């Protein structure tokens, strides 16, 4: 694997390395600008940039005439933004079958393409890897003294002290985990970059994703509504009310279309409800919690800055929760885990449930301040008692992720972990 002084190692590196050893091709998906191509380049021996301004037109013509020609090159061969020529999917699958070798291709894409009827699923040939923006451990801002792996393995000797102040965290969530903003030291330039990213989504990407013309003003209103409800379980009817209250004439069908387009761009990254067997017969809610792929997007849409966050601690807390969910998803991905939340109709809620493929699970509350610790711990312990552990097994850990400094395990077994101490 090639490395250089500019590239910041990603948690996905190990997963990509393993995927290349186990599959003929690897598909890396995620929002544009999150680092997919740079990560792939660390492993690729040759590269095809489908959006290269000098050759893109010729590449598209070649894809329609003889796609196999574009696959020639030293392997692993990186095909960047492959979805511009969806025919390449079947060409890669066929070539993998013919060569009967692992690690032949890496495909990266920041848009979910429209799959033709004759496109093979890729089962048995492709591994899929999802990348998100950089976690605090990847940006070297978390000490990594408390590992998710250690928590699942029952390790109790862990201790840590975060170097991040609450002011640092305010800046970090507004800056986002985009590799280029992480490296940039000029705060004003960082904020302008994130602003430009959001504007590109609104004014360009939403109409390019599937060729449908969409109104930028309507996209902006929709995204602002989602940003206002960040980290909250809100259905489409609530968003519809927000838009109609602002004199937007829009149907429920149009909202679904716009939201689906944002999902194709990996801009929306909602948190689903955990399916769990409880001792009580209380019905569970099914509405997902609203999240964007990075909290900085919500920050731009809300017109937030550090001063505004400290004057509106409720919004600050919701954005901090979104930041923590982003990091927990990155860390859980490395363990082949999935992230959910729990909420029932009696109002019992747990912010995050992490479930691994082997059935182990842990429950997490996300609270900015230490003054919320007791209530959060009480909620976690109550939730643990209500889970049918005969069917689900007991939790591997209970934890409160905070914006404080000191990591420790309480006498009742609940962990208190600053976000600035966590890693995979």
Please state the pTM of the whole predicted model: 0.94
Q: Compute the distance between CA of residue 352 and CA of residue 330 in angstroms, rounded to an integer.
A: 13
Please report the pLDDT score of residue 243 as a whole number: 86
Please report the pLDDT score of residue 110 as a whole number: 86
Please report the pLDDT score of residue 250 as a whole number: 81
Please state the φ and ψ torsions of residue 356, each to the nearest 5 degrees.
-90, 165
**Pairing mode, strands 160-161 and 406-409:** antiparallel
The token pair at 239 is: 């968003």
H or E element at residue 36: helix 36-41
Please report the pLDDT score of residue 2 as a whole number: 47
Please report the pLDDT score of residue 120 as a whole number: 65
How much of the chain is helix, strand and coil, in % rounded to 5?
45, 15, 40
- As averages over each run of 10 residues, the pLDDT of the chain (424 residues) reads 70 97 96 96 97 94 96 97 92 95 95 65 83 98 98 94 97 96 93 96 92 91 95 90 77 90 95 83 80 97 96 97 98 97 86 96 94 95 90 94 97 97 98
Reduced to 3 states, what is the DSSP secondary structure of residue 399?
A: strand
Count CB atoms within 10 A of the CB of residue 121. Answer: 10
Q: Compute the distance between CA of residue 35 and CA of residue 134 in angstroms, rounded to an integer.
A: 8
Q: Compute the distance between CA of residue 9 and CA of residue 221 in angstroms, rounded to an integer.
A: 36
For residues 340 and 355, the answer to whether their CB atoms sit within 8 Å is: yes
Q: Compute the distance between CA of residue 113 and CA of residue 341 in angstroms, rounded to an integer.
A: 29
Please report the pLDDT score of residue 276 as a whole number: 81
Please state the φ and ψ torsions of residue 324, each to the nearest 5 degrees.
-65, -40
């Amino acid at each position: 694997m090639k490395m250089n002084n500019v590239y910041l190692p990603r948690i996905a590196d190990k997963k990509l390395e393993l995927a290349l050893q186990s599959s003929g091709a690897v598909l890396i998906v995620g929002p544009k600008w999150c680092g997919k191509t740079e990560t792939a380049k660390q492993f690729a021996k040759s590269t095809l940039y489908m959006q290269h301004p000098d050759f893109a037109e010729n590449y598209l013509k070649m894809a329609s005439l003889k796609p196999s020609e574009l696959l020639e090159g030293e392997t692993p061969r990186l095909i960047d933004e492959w979805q511009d020529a969806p025919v390449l999917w079947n060409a890669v699958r066929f070539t993998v079958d013919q060569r009967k070798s692992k690690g032949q291709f890496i495909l990266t894409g920041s848009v979910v393409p429209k799959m033709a009827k004759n496109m093979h699923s890729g089962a048995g040939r492709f591994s899929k890897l999802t990348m998100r923006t950089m976690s605090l451990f990847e940006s070297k801002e978390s000490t990594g003294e408390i590992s998710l792996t250690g928590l699942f393995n029952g390790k109790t000797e862990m201790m840590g002290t975060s170097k991040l102040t609450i002011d640092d965290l305010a800046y970090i969530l507004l800056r986002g985990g985009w590799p280029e903003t992480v490296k940039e030291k000029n705060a004003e330039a960082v904020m302008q970059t994130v602003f430009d990213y959001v504007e590109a989504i609104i004014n360009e990407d939403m109409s390019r994703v599937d060729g449908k013309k969409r109104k930028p003003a309507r996209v902006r209103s929709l995204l602002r509504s989602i940003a206002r409800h960040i980290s909250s379980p809100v259905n489409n009817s609530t968003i519809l009310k927000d838009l109609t209250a602002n004199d937007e004439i829009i149907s429920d069908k149009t909202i679904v279309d716009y939201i689906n387009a944002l999902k194709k761009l990996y801009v929306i990254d909602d948190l689903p409800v955990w399916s769990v067997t409880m001792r009580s017969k209380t019905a569970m809610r099914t509405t997902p919690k609203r999240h964007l792929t990075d909290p900085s997007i919500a920050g731009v849409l809300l017109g937030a800055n550090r001063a505004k966050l400290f004057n509106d601690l409720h919004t600050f807390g919701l954005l901090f929760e979104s930041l923590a969910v982003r990091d927990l998803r990155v860390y859980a991905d490395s363990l082949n885990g999935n992230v959910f939340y729990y909420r029932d109709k009696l109002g019992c809620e747990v912010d995050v449930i992490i479930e691994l493929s082997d059935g182990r699970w842990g429950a997490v509350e996300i609270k900015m301040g230490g003054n919320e610790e007791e209530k959060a711990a009480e909620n976690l312990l109550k939730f643990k008692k209500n889970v049918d552990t005969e069917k689900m097994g007991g939790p591997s850990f209970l934890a409160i992720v905070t914006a404080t400094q000191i990591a420790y395990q309480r006498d009742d077994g609940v962990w208190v972990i600053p976000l600035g101490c966590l890693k995979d």
